[in-house]
Chains A and B, each alone.
Chain A
Amino acid sequence: GAGVSQSPSNKVTEKGKDVELRCDPISGHTALYWYRQSLGQGLEFLIYFQGNSAPDKSGLPSDRFSAERTGGSVSTLTIQRTQQEDSAVYLCASSPGHFNTDTQYFGPGTRLTVL
């Protein structure tokens, strides 16, 4: 079946511009996660949604970052006034949201380059 999809796959923007990244989770998955991976670095957790609600936003790097999820499905991660240090691959994952064990399925990522 269809996996997690993200768009765009690549985004090049100028410093100071706003960008919006989109994630389409696997159908029926109630949990959705955003991570980022800077060049040559490890993975960093940003935010988690259960349904449309994000109980903890403290993982977002700054107040320029925001995320929302509507209809329990698509999520968007918005970065305002982008900075060069925002350049990274932004990864989205979804999971069924079961409380015993839960497996996250990752999308291919959006590579963001801020010039």
Chain B
Amino acid sequence: LAKTTQPISMDSYEGQEVNITCSHNNIATNDYITWYQQFPSQGPRFIIQGYKTKVTNEVASLFIPADRKSSTLSLPRVSLSDTAVYYCLVGDVFYGQNFVFGPGTRLSVLP
């Protein structure tokens, strides 16, 4: 199983870009990388998913280098409402197995 690590916490200010990196050194060939946002007492909410290179949607970008041993979630111009815990998830979405979450990064956005 892929072992995933993330920084435990990060601080940022409103309007800044935030980059959160997840390390997954032994990611498997069929594994995808997914990022979730979680607010207290709520279930995780999907942000973005990718396999390699760069993926962008309306809320975030995901950068995955060629060796896929890490991934970086980029949140442009964060606001106070982006204060949450962010999890990376590595797993085989083809067969629905070997899902491993990172420990989560608690992002605090300050005014």
Contact = CB atoms under 8 A, between A and B. Distances in A.
Contacts of B45: 106
A99 B93 CA distance: 7
Interface residues of B, number: 24
Given A104-B46, A107-B43, A42 B96 contact: no
Interface of A: 4, 31, 33, 35, 42-45, 48-50, 55-56, 59, 91, 93, 95, 99, 101-109
Interface of B: 32, 34, 36, 42-46, 49, 51, 87, 89, 91, 93-97, 99-104
15 contacts: A35-B101, A42-B101, A43-B104, A44-B101, A45-B100, A49-B96, A50-B96, A55-B96, A101-B51, A101-B93, A102-B32, A102-B49, A106-B45, A108-B42, A108-B43
